[in-house]
Structure 1
């Protein structure tokens, strides 16, 4: 069975289609009509990560849930999983959809891509809601004491090992999903864990490449201060979980090179805000759109 042959989870109101950008066919799940909002998922997930947020917004927004290159039902490629390339995919997608400007909401790794989209083409983004991800200007003295939280990446990032782990060790993916939530028993159903675990098996190459690209490109750029020369002008709201074991509140503070960036820490929440606090995410997105 290939990625495209996997049964797709059902969500009421979904209109599925494929758009080819930069030589890769991307899958989109669209809902509703009105103000366009592009939603980018994190790892190890796909468009279905927004299943609890979508019903709260679809009545008066056009929601475009994107499967990033190589994930979900989007086509895999040999290369192109670095943050710059994934951001270029998103911008090319906006061109194909005829969207001169959109609101952007993103979680986890998708939020890292979202920050890069805002840096590269701020005129294309009306406002940005970033969930469970540090901004590109996090202070070194905050990052270094928290590096231990990324211990699990050692099992994913190396080219051969990472693909084997993601493809043949489903318990590892299930652990990542459960580990991120403040209360896994409340957040996840067995069917949801199975869906994302199976999807990760099929996107093992993309998952490993995503982490490896971050190691060889983004981490060195961060320590060189590359992004400090690019000021963020897009109005941006960052939400983090008080109990997030991966991106704790300490990684969200500090001086940001931004004109309009605010951070809110959600009490009692972990690393899976779209699942743990969908009502709050929808409320923040509505407020962000209304104020800009």
Structure 2
């Protein structure tokens, strides 16, 4: 990782209201980057694709008034290491478990969005003794239903055609297509697909994400989250119900889906719908997300 990447994360952390700092830790065979600030019980925040820890910038100051916030670039993301393996969500949950122990926390609150939500769910299932509460934002853990996503959508099908799931299964070609500054096109496409208010994620924010994903190494690592899906599905089959209190946050039709699914995956589940948003609810409706997280984690 370049010195400039280190400097950028430090500057971004310092730009937030409150005393936040950019830190690193070597755990479970990978170097993890995280931004931390605040005081109180630990609250770990895990981002989704195509974002980084910066996804949580709008909610971190409010959460830090009550918690020790730890926003982590998961394995392969942003300032964190990009090894050749270890991208199954069970192992990535172990990354977070070892990070928590490294920071002196035996038990944590944890929240995740997108890929980060899958890691948070895997954390709660594999490390129940270390889980105080868990919040799942807009993405349930992958299961066998992913095998049934159509390659070609039928006329009138509702919802986005998830072509990118198949695209990320292809090896080597995405690095060639998306490197050298072209990743910004994919970022703009994904945000355009799922933002009610396009201005919620500014051009500056998109540049932050584009820089994080634009190198061939970063593209290869981010693909690895998707290429581990088959192992993730097999791991999910062995999971029982999450015993820690679990919150599901989502919008619209996916809220309705999570409202049916999450209660089958946990013993103490509550749901809250975030209005006027789609996938990127943390950045588009930060006040509502912060309010629900504060109410849930207590």
TM-score (norm 1): 0.86
Q: Structure 1: give runs of 5+ residues left out of the alignment.
A: none
After superposition, residues 162-241 of structure 1 pair within 5 angstroms as 162-168=174-180, 169-170=182-183, 171-184=185-198, 186-202=199-215, 203-214=218-229, 216-219=230-233, 226-227=237-238, 229-241=239-251
After superposition, residues 86-165 of structure 1 pair within 5 angstroms as 86-135=92-141, 149-165=161-177
Paired residue total: 280
Match of 2:270 in 1: 262
* Structure 1 position 253 matched with structure 2 position 260: yes
Match of 1:5 in 2: 4
Aligned residues of 1:135 and 1:256 also touching (Cα < 8 A)? no
Q: Using CA pairs below 8 Å that are at least 6 residues apart, which structure has the higher relative contact order?
A: 1
Match of 2:47 in 1: 41
Matched residue of 1:149: which SS? coil
Relative distance call for 1:18 and 1:265 in structure 2 (3 A) is same
* Structure 1 position 32 matched with structure 2 position 38: yes
Matches of 1:3 and 1:177 in 2, distance apart?
27
Aligned residues of 1:240 and 1:252 also touching (Cα < 8 A)? no
Moved more, 250-259 or 84-93: 250-259
Relative distance call for 1:221 and 1:62 in structure 2 (3 A) is closer
Q: Structure 2: give runs of 5+ residues left out of the alignment.
A: 151-156
Alignment RMSD: 2.6
Matches of 1:28 and 1:35 in 2, distance apart?
17
Aligned residues of 1:269 and 1:276 also touching (Cα < 8 A)? yes
Aligned residues of 1:138 and 1:252 also touching (Cα < 8 A)? no
Deviation above 3 Å: which 4+ runs of structure 1? 2-5, 135-140, 142-149, 219-222
